Amino acid sequence: MSIQDTYRTDLADFLGINTDQISLYWKGRVGLYAVLKAMGIGPGDEVILPAFTCVVVPNAILYTGATPVYVDIDPNSLCCETKSIEKAITPHTKAILIQNMLGLSYEVHDIVSLAKARGIYTIEDCTHGFGGKYQGQFNGLMSDAAFFSSQWNKPFSTGIGGMLVINNQALHEPLQKINATLEAPSFKDRLVLSTLIWARTYLLKGFTYWTLLRWYRWLSKKGWVIGSSSADELTGTSMPNGYFKGMSLVQCRKGIKSLKSLKKTMLLRKNNALKLHEWLLKHHKTCVPQPLIEDHAFLKYPLLVNDRAAFIEKSEKARLPLGDWFISPLHPVKSSLVPWGLNIDQHPHARYISQHIVNLPLEGDLSRLINFLELYQNEIL
């Protein structure tokens, strides 16, 4: 069996599905683009998505020629509610994206039923949620298709990388045709990624973390290493060269290895998340709603703070790596969102959350983090 097939089989076994339901890509966003094309989505069509996401999601929609239609999030679950999605449906709606935010899902079955009744496709954005479950069912198995990310900080890592799961058999054939046009990663792509994976594995230790992070940020800004997104993806809406790429052997090998420790890592994340949750409850701070706790895969724990820039600065001084994901409704774009057709004035929850959110790491010992939260608890909302 080829390395790719071994990896696909391992992923399928984990989820309890068939290997032929899985396709592998250079990044998760490429899987989204592929499935939109397989659904025949193009100019004149509308795709519903949250107004609180990563900019590469509307990009994939725009690359097909379709129009992204944004829906505000529910500020408690950070996901879209069925009733808000229903209001956004028009005769042009072809698909609804159901996003797992930081591992959290919400009303997935209701949204799928609504879409089915209207003849609309559903796609789960499980980039944060591989391995997590919603009401006892694995994330990604409830809708027509789902895409996942295995980029650095995701549930498990292949450096960068992504996959697509197809649950609707009718999409299989058109997807195979589209996958046949994937480019292979170049020698340079593979070399740079292997070097980064090696550096993360062997050099990124506690005491080198901050120095290497500074270097990595500087090198990515210059475009000298593979960052999560290219400059083109953050400034415009045309598909960059070399976007539609498959997964390399380097990524598959890393994936096979990382997947082996996923269950253990997920357990650690969940236990740590529950400790943070208790701390937030005890201090009367905003936390994940209790009924959703059981279903939360907990990639990170969302925390709302008054002044995010100041809070992150303090955490960096204390050498605590807090995440600043979703600092913008279309992360990480800080400039105008007009090119992506998002008028944030119409989505007040997405705007508010993107102004105040930080995310807490869930791996390792949390005692220093909890001491830090104790110290700055007045700044937590």
Query: Residues interacting with ligand PLP, by CB under 6 A?
Result: 27-29, 53-54, 56-57, 99, 125, 127, 149, 151, 162, 228
Cβ proximity to ligand PLP: between 121 and 243 the closer is 243
CA 326 to chain CA centroid, Å, is 10
Kindly list the distances between the CA atom of residue 223 and the CA atoms of 186, 192, 230, 232, 257, in Å, as whole numbers in the listed order: 16, 12, 8, 11, 28
Query: How many CB atoms neighbour CB 362 within 10 A?
Result: 24
Pick 57 or 266: Cβ nearer ligand PLP:
57
Tell me the C-alpha distance between 332 and 251, whole Å. 25
Pick between residue 239 and residue 318 the one whose CB is nearest to ligand PLP.
239
Rg from Cα positions in the chain:
20
Distance in Å, CB of 152 to ligand PLP, minimum: 9
Burial of 1 (0-12, 13-18, 19+ CB in 10 A): exposed
**Residues shown for the chain:** 381
Establish whether the linkage from the previous residue to 321 is cis, with ω within 30° of 0: no
Nearest CB to ligand PLP, comparing residues 99 and 328: 99
Q: How far is the CB of 180 from ligand PLP (least distance, A)?
A: 21
Pairwise CA distance, residues 88 & 84, whole Å: 7
Q: What is the DSSP letter of 216?
A: H
Identify which of residues 28 and 140 has a Cβ nearer to ligand PLP in the complex. 28
Instruction: Tell me the H-state helices in the chain.
Output: 3-15, 28-38, 56-63, 82-88, 108-118, 172-179, 187-202, 209-221, 231-235, 249-260, 262-282, 290-293, 308-317, 348-356, 367-375
28 vs 155 by CB, closer to ligand PLP:
28
Q: Which residues contact 94 (CB under 8 A, 6 or more apart)?
A: 39, 40, 41, 45, 46, 47, 66, 120, 121
Closest approach of ligand PLP to the CB of residue 255, in Å: 12
Helices (H), 47-186: 56-63, 82-88, 108-118, 172-179
For the bound state, the minimum distance from the C-beta of residue 365 to ligand PLP, rounded and expressed in Å, comes to 26
CB 53, min distance to ligand PLP, A: 5
Q: Are strands 162-166 and 22-25 parallel, antiparallel or unpaired?
A: antiparallel
Q: Which residue is nearest to ligand PLP, using beta carbons?
A: 28
Smallest distance from the beta carbon of 123 to ligand PLP, in angstroms? 11
CB of 128 to ligand PLP, least distance (A): 6
Nearer to ligand PLP, 64 or 228 (CB): 228
Q: How far is the CB of 11 from ligand PLP (least distance, A)?
A: 14
